[in-house]
Amino acid sequence: MNADRLIDFVMPFYFYPFLLIVLTIIFFVIRFLILRRKNISVELFHTALKNENSGYYEEAVVNYENALNEVNKIRFHGSLKNKIVEKLKLLHTLIEYNNSNRIKR
């Protein structure tokens, strides 16, 4: 008789982990869809890349820094963050090189 009471008491709690897993999956799917739709950092990266290819290095640096700030807010695009950091290092070096060549002339 006591075993039946124990089973009746425990059974409602048995479904809570399953419910928690389902709600977590739903949360991450919705988060993924929202972040994919409103991806400002990728748009900023794209405009910075256009500016870099056009030769507007200072504007590209500003756009890359803005994209990096957006990536840090989201914390979702680790590889994009690494690309932006590498591009910023390269552009700073390129700008310094161009400025030193202007001074020598």
- pLDDT tens digits, 71-91: 888 776 778 889 999 999 999
Distance between CA atoms of residues 23 and 34, nearest Å? 17
Q: What CA–CA distance (Å, rounded) separates 10 from 98?
A: 73
For 37-82, the pLDDT digits (tens) are 667 888 888 999 999 999 898 999 999 999 889 888 877 677 888 9
Question: What are the pLDDT digits (tens) for 96-105?
Answer: 998 887 766 5
Output the pLDDT for position 70. Answer: 85
d(CA 26, CA 37): 17
- What is the structure's pLDDT at 35? 67
Query: Contact at 8 Å (CB) between 44 and 70?
Result: yes
Rounded Cα–Cα distance for residues 94 and 69 (Å): 22
pTM reported for the whole predicted model = 0.63
Of all helices (H) and strands (E), which one includes residue 43? helix 40-54
Phi then psi for 15, rounded to 5 degrees? -90, -10
